[in-house]
Amino acid sequence: MEQLGDIKSWRRYADEQRARGRDVALVPTMGALHDGHASLFRAAKQSGAVVIATLFVNPRQFGDAADLKAYPRTPHEDAVVAKENGVDCLVEPSLVEMWPDYPEATPTTVSVHGIGDVLEGAERPGHFDGVASVVTKLFSITGLCRAYFGEKDFQQVAVVRQMVRDLALPVQIVGCPIVRDPDGLAISSRNDLLSVEGRAQALALSRSLRSLSPADPASAQRRRLRDVLEAAGVEIAYAEIVEPTTFKACRDDESGPRRALVAGLVEGVRLIDNAPVTLVAQAH
């Protein structure tokens, strides 16, 4: 596995692979790699592409300086995970190269309105601007590629898809299934911050999603999500049923495939989860 630390070498590496007739796959990460990231590396490798993974903790998507400071950084362990799961080139760019003006505001920002303004976007103002801006830069440097994202951050994937479509970027977005521990908890680096009791409480997120009935209209689905979360003592950020492309909240007269998304605080740790759901329109 090749390890690079500067944009020029990274861009040259991707260009050389394409010149040899090989497809390029990109897996953007902020490090602290776990089984969810490993599944993305393996999916990218199984596609037959040369796999480039990035490790960059992007300060522009953190609204809270303390949250940024506390974000785990494990570069040596990350390199092992990447190498063992098929990554061909691991890139760890410096903050000064990625955002030369930091900590001053960067003059250029990419914003995806609509889907970027609700749920996570409303709860964490500026978050998706930071995500869209850094991902645009990653795509600009890497060039023509397939990019792999986990669907645990379902709204993030939707934001990136919209951005790629609107800007006609030469990137195919591949969403990969949520990876869960045997108890059902969606794998996240934040899970390590939970106590044994907190982890048991956090299981309410996945339990709420499993509790949904395909025969129920949207309002009943929302109530069910909230009831399960409240019963477990989770501090609810949101519990919503949305159209999975526009992220508009669903009405009771809608039917068909939609997405259920939940977010909440457990022991001060913010957790998210989601699952597909089918709606049946309320009879009048």
The catalytic residues are 37
In angstroms, rounded to a whole number, what is the distance separating the alpha carbons of residues 249 and 64?
28
Report in angstroms the alpha-carbon separations of 206 from 43, 106, 209, 273: 24, 37, 5, 7
Query: Is residue 168 left, alpha or beta, with left meaning phi > 0 and alpha meaning psi from -120 to 50?
Result: left
In angstroms, rounded to a whole number, what is the distance separating the alpha carbons of residues 65 and 62?
7
29 closest CA partner among 57, 59, 6, 68: 57
Q: What are phi and psi of 283, to 5 degrees?
A: -75, 145
